[in-house]
Amino acid sequence: MITRTATARYEGMGKTGKGWISTQSGVLQDSRYGFNTRFEGEPGTNPEELIAAAHASCFTMALSFALAGAGHNEGNLETEAKVKLDQDGAGFKVSRSDLRLTASVPGIEEAELRRLAEEAKQNCPISKLLNAEMTLNVTVS
């Protein structure tokens, strides 16, 4: 069993409050977040961006292991995740995560790549965590 941690600190409340997030690995160390970074494009991060990064990286790693297991040991995978935040009554919800994969895997048939990518989308731990609609768009280069 693996446990990873992150901490979030918020000073002040609501729109005028400011937050900082840090991760166990130290990759994020007091990275700024808050209303302005989430809704107004100010520098800093936000929860949806972090979810998108987690989903893109988890899916891509799962696919790389699936490809290796199928005997494909060379190539490149690049995934963009677009996480959508929608109004939900008086609040908000993450309604979807759209993955866009660009893959270059020598010797693989497109149908096999698409099958393995779909399985990775369904089975990566972050996909299982998200209770949102997910799509996958594959570009073979």
Higher pLDDT, 25 or 134: 25
The CB-side HSE value for 84 (13 A sphere, CA atoms) comes to 12
Taking only the tens place, the pLDDT of each residue in 17-75 is 999 999 999 999 999 999 999 999 899 999 999 999 999 999 999 999 999 999 999 99
Which band of pLDDT confidence, cut at 50, 70 and 90, is reported for residue 133? Answer: confident
Phi, psi of 135 (to 5 degrees): -125, 160
